[in-house]
Amino acid sequence: MRQRKLKDLDERLEMFGRYRIDSPWKFKGEWDRFFMERGAGMNADTYLEIGCGKGCFLMPHAEAERSSNFIGVECQQSVLVRALEKACDEDLRNVIFVDDKVYDVRDYFEEGELAGIYLNFSDPWPKARHAKRRLTHRDYLKSYCDVVRDGGTIEFKTDNDDLFGFTLEEIKVLDLQIEEFAVDLHGSNFESKKFMTEYEEKFSSRGKTINYLRIRNQKEQGK
């Protein structure tokens, strides 16, 4: 849902600017160095969340896993600014937020540069004519397989059963390998229930079960 523009948005973006970048393509192939120069660990695994919202998932994740790096991309500045506020409060070196809309992750990352991608409660785009806009459309999935290293992961959570069904079909077409799957994540033993997103908290508290899957990237597949 599109948020109203906050009154003092520009000042707040400026104030929390040290956790925001708006030209991610400049760091293509250089993310390791980027994080190292910020004081994060060397040769760390780097994870991307597309559509990270207010950073409710990424921030606790980055805090718990200091030896990995985390990049959150969010295209609505009024939402992103909440993530930036959290990041400045916690002052973690291993997290950064990108102020941009992802069309093709290959614009930001070299082949195999990421250890994993998270897609949490992606916009469902329910109309059939908008299917190509869904972040789990086969064209997007293919691009994720390019930038995630061999053996890396792509994780997807959603409350939307139709989007989950669509995603399973797209995965089948590409012959990708699903290694974890649940139609009720919080009734399962999977680790991925540990860090909840804002939408996950909201839907779970209303009794909606959460769909979840994890793809293991194998370079000979997904082409």
Ligand X SMILES: C[S@@+](CC[C@H](N)C(=O)[O-])C[C@H]1O[C@@H](n2cnc3c(N)ncnc32)[C@H](O)[C@@H]1O
Residue 141 interacts with ligand X (CB under 6 A)? Answer: no
In the list 46, 94, 197, 217, the residue contacting ligand X (rule: CB under 6 A) is 197
CA distance 55 to 49: 9
26 versus 172: smaller Cβ distance to ligand X: 26
How near is the Cβ of 141 to ligand X at its closest, in Å?
A: 14
The residues, any chain, with a CB within 8 Å of residue 21's CB and separated by 6 or more, are 27, 96, 97, 98, 99
78 versus 218: smaller Cβ distance to ligand X: 78
How near is the Cβ of 49 to ligand X at its closest, in Å?
A: 7
**Which positions from 113 through 132 interact with ligand X, judged by CB under 6 A?**
120-121, 123
**Which positions from 52 through 71 interact with ligand X, judged by CB under 6 A?**
52-53, 56
CA distance 1 to 8: 20
53 versus 152: smaller Cβ distance to ligand X: 53
# binding residues, ligand X (CB under 6 A): 19
35 versus 54: smaller Cβ distance to ligand X: 54
**Which positions from 71 through 110 interact with ligand X, judged by CB under 6 A?**
73-76, 79, 101-102
Active site residues: 123
The tokens describing 136, both together, are 């789990």
The residues, any chain, with a CB within 8 Å of residue 108's CB and separated by 6 or more, are 24, 25, 27, 28, 98, 102, 147
- Identify which range of 23-31, 48-56, 170-178, 185-193 contacts ligand X by CB under 6 A: 48-56
Tell me, letter by letter, the H, E, C secondary structure of 80-99.
HHHHHHHHHHHCCCCEEEEE
Q: 45, 118 in Cβ contact below 8 A?
A: no
The tokens describing 7, both together, are 């009154």
CA distance 181 to 46: 23
The residue whose Cβ lies closest to ligand X is: 51
CA distance 220 to 116: 17
Name the residue among 148, 123, 126 with its Cα closest to residue 135: 123
How near is the Cβ of 56 to ligand X at its closest, in Å?
A: 6
Q: Which residues lie near ligand X (CB under 6 A)?
A: 50-53, 56, 73-76, 79, 101-102, 120-121, 123, 197-200
